[in-house]
Structure formats: structure tokens, C-alpha cells
């Protein structure tokens, strides 16, 4: 089974975010960059499908600056076969979800694939829009928040379990299709040492705007960024024992906060 995985390099979840003095973006110095955790599920699923069918190729497609190669190598070390790195400041510096999806679509359209896997959202901008837009641009059905996937023997369709509010929905979809991975889909593997060595020799195709033959204007523009208002530590409720503290808390929630 041939698959494409859309992957993004993002700040590690431990990162303390700071805003640049112009208020236009975050301070990128000193950040530890990692593969987006949801994309790890996407890579893992692609690898498992390839292993199940004992054939096929996994191609990682990622957009970002030079440093993005580290996350791409991580994916190759996990077992992906090849990668496309869209590395062009014209794209990634002002890319909104639409521009990102358009660049990815341009890079993907000539690849061979039965399925495209994405993380459910990148944990930097948290938009969660790329899979749906990609589906529209490539004319493919999109199943989001997938926690279980079964591909038919002839690779013509798949049955996916997806998270919905209050439970799960089981959907059948024709292939090729796009799947966005939710936590729970699988347990992503770690890159092995031989995997890391092999990854260094795997091909990474670097593409620019002119290579892709697209010029993409963003559909949304960030005007200003800010930090959330700082929360102050509040009141510690005192009492002789736990029961008294519980009473004091209830009183505060009832009389001060008026929440009960």
C-alpha cells in the first residue's frame, strides 16, 4: 500500500511560548522542535499499513524551513521510505491553513498513493484545517479524528472508526482517501539505531514555489499575537480538617463565585 504522510515540525509541548516584540509571531530561538505528536500517529499508521500489505512506499511530505529536515529524518528513521521537503520562505512564512494545504496538494498530486495520513491538527497553530482543505483540493474524501482503521484487501475501501462527540462513528470510505489521526490510533514506534543510520541515506526531495508551479496567497492573516492574561494565584481555603476545607470551598463557590 502506498501512502503519503503530511507532517509538520512544531515546538515541543514543554515549550514556554514568548511573543516577538513586533507582536507578529512567536520567538523561535531556544525552542526544541519536534515532529507534531499527532503526525507521529500518522507516520505509524502508514508504516503499519505498509507492513500489513507487505508492499508499498511511505512518503513524508512536510513544509518548513531548513530545521524541518530533522523531523523529516525522524520519520524516515521510523521507517518511511522517502520524503518531500517544501522549503521556501515564500510559503512557510505567511502560510495559513489554505496556503499550507495548497502547497501540500501541489507536492502530492503527482505521487502514487492509496491513502494520505495527517495528524488531526498541528499543535502550534491548532487550526486543524489542513486535512479538510487538502481533501477539497485533491478531490478526496476526508475522515477526521480516526482512532481505528481497516483497509480492505483490494485497497478499494476502508472502514474507519472516528471520534465524535459522546462516542464513535464507524464510516466506510472509498480509497484513495485522507485520514486525520487522533491519539489512540496506534502507539508510535521509536526510531531504532539502524533506522537512524539508514534514514541518513534516504532521498529527500527539496521543492520550492517554482518547482511546485503554484503561487498561493493566504486566505487568513494574523494581525497580532499576544499572551493570555496572567492568572494570579488565588485563595487557599483553610480549615481544621479536610471536611472543613470542603465546606469552605463550597461556601466560596456558592457565595463568592456564584457557581452553585
Partner 1 sequence: MPGILIYAEVQKGEIKKGAFEITSKAKQLAGDVGGEVAACIIGKDVEGLASELAKYGADKIFVVDGPEFENYVPEAYVQAFAQVASQFNPSIILTSASAQGKDFTPALAARLKVGSISDCVDLSVSGGKLVAKRPMYAGKAYAMVEAVKEPQIASVRPNSFAIEETAGAGAVEKVSVSLDTSKIKMEVKSLELAASEEPDQTEAEIIVSGGRGMKGPENFKILEDLAHAFGPTATTGASRAAVDAGWRDHSYQVGQTGKTVSPNLYVACGISGAIQHLAGMGTSKVIVAINKDPEAPIFTKADYGVVDDLFKVVPPLTEEVKKIKG
Q: Decide: is 193 part of the binding site for partner 1 (CB under 8 A).
A: no
Interface pick for partner 1 out of 51, 156, 170, 203 (rule CB under 8 A): 170
Candidate segments 51-59, 195-203, 204-212, 215-223, binder of partner 1 by CB under 8 A: 215-223
Q: Decide: is 144 part of the binding site for partner 1 (CB under 8 A).
A: yes
Q: Is the dihedral of CA 180, 183, 185, 191 positive or negative?
A: positive
Whichever of 83 and 177 has its CB closer to partner 1, that residue is 177
| Angle at which helices 130-138 and 97-108 cross, to 10° | 50
Main-chain phi, psi angles of 85, to 5 degrees: -115, 110
| 3-state secondary structure (DSSP) of residue 119 | strand
Question: Which grid cell sits at 60?
Answer: 513524508
CB of 112 to partner 1, least distance (A): 19
Q: Decide: is 189 part of the binding site for partner 1 (CB under 8 A).
A: no
CB of 99 to partner 1, least distance (A): 9
Place of cell 515549550: 15
Interface pick for partner 1 out of 52, 94, 152, 184 (rule CB under 8 A): 184
Q: How far apart are CA 85 and CA 65, in angstroms?
A: 9
Q: Decide: is 217 part of the binding site for partner 1 (CB under 8 A).
A: yes
Q: Decide: is 247 part of the binding site for partner 1 (CB under 8 A).
A: yes
Whether residue 50 contacts residue 3, with contact meaning beta carbons closer than 8 Å, is answered with yes
CB neighbours (10 Å) of residue 214?
Answer: 14
Q: Decide: is 112 part of the binding site for partner 1 (CB under 8 A).
A: no
Candidate segments 81-89, 192-200, 207-215, 241-249, binder of partner 1 by CB under 8 A: 241-249
CB of 20 to partner 1, least distance (A): 11
| Angle at which helices 37-53 and 68-78 cross, to 10° | 30
Whichever of 14 and 154 has its CB closer to partner 1, that residue is 14
Q: Decide: is 241 part of the binding site for partner 1 (CB under 8 A).
A: yes
87: which DSSP letter?
-
Whichever of 90 and 171 has its CB closer to partner 1, that residue is 171
Q: Decide: is 89 part of the binding site for partner 1 (CB under 8 A).
A: no
Whichever of 164 and 197 has its CB closer to partner 1, that residue is 164
The separation between CA 117 and the C-alpha centre of its own chain, rounded to angstroms, equals 10
The separation between CA 39 and the C-alpha centre of its own chain, rounded to angstroms, equals 4
Interface pick for partner 1 out of 29, 93, 126, 153 (rule CB under 8 A): 126
Q: 40-59: which residues touch partner 1 (CB under 8 A)?
A: none
Q: How far apart are CA 100 and CA 31, in angstroms?
A: 22
Whether residue 143 contacts residue 132, with contact meaning beta carbons closer than 8 Å, is answered with no
CB of 188 to partner 1, least distance (A): 12
Residues forming a β-bridge with 142: 178
Q: Decide: is 150 part of the binding site for partner 1 (CB under 8 A).
A: no
Q: Decide: is 188 part of the binding site for partner 1 (CB under 8 A).
A: no
Main-chain phi, psi angles of 60, to 5 degrees: -90, 135
Amino acid at each position: 500500500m502506498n501512502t503519503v504522510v503530511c507532517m509538520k515540525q512544531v515546538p515541543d509541548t514543554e515549550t514556554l511560548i514568548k511573543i516577538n516584540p513586533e507582536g507578529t509571531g512567536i520567538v523561535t530561538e531556544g525552542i526544541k522542535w519536534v515532529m507534531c505528536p499527532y503526525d507521529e500517529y500518522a507516520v505509524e499508521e502508514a508504516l503499519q499499513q505498509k507492513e500489513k500489505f507487505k508492499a508499498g512506499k511511505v512518503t513524508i511530505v512536510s513544509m518548513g524551513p531548513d530545521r524541518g529536515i530533522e523531523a523529516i529524518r525522524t520519520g524516515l528513521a521510523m521507517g518511511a521510505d522517502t520524503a518531500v521537503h517544501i522549503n521556501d520562505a515564500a510559503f512557510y512564512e505567511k502560510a495559513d491553513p489554505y496556503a499550507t494545504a495548497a502547497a501540500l496538494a501541489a507536492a502530492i498530486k503527482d505521487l502514487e498513493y492509496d491513502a494520505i495520513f495527517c495528524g488531526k491538527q498541528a499543535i502550534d497553530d491548532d487550526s486543524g484545517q489542513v486535512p479538510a482543505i487538502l481533501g477539497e483540493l485533491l478531490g478526496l474524501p476526508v475522515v477526521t479524528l480516526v482512532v481505528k482503521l481497516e483497509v480492505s484487501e483490494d485497497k478499494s475501501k476502508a472502514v474507519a472508526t472516528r471520534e465524535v462527540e459522546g462516542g464513535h462513528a464507524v464510516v466506510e470510505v472509498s480509497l484513495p482517501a485522507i485520514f486525520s489521526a487522533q491519539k489512540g490510533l496506534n502507539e508510535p514506534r521509536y526510531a531504532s539505531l539502524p533506522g537512524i543510520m539508514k534514514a541518513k541515506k534516504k532521498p529527500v526531495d527539496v521543492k520550492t514555489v517554482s518547482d511546485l508551479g503554484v503561487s498561493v496567497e493566504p486566505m487568513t492573516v494574523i494581525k497580532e499575537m499576544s499572551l493570555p492574561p496572567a492568572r494570579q494565584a488565588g485563595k487557599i481555603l483553610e480549615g481544621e480538617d479536610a471536611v472543613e476545607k470542603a465546606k469552605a470551598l463550597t461556601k466560596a463557590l456558592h457565595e463568592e463565585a456564584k457557581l452553585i
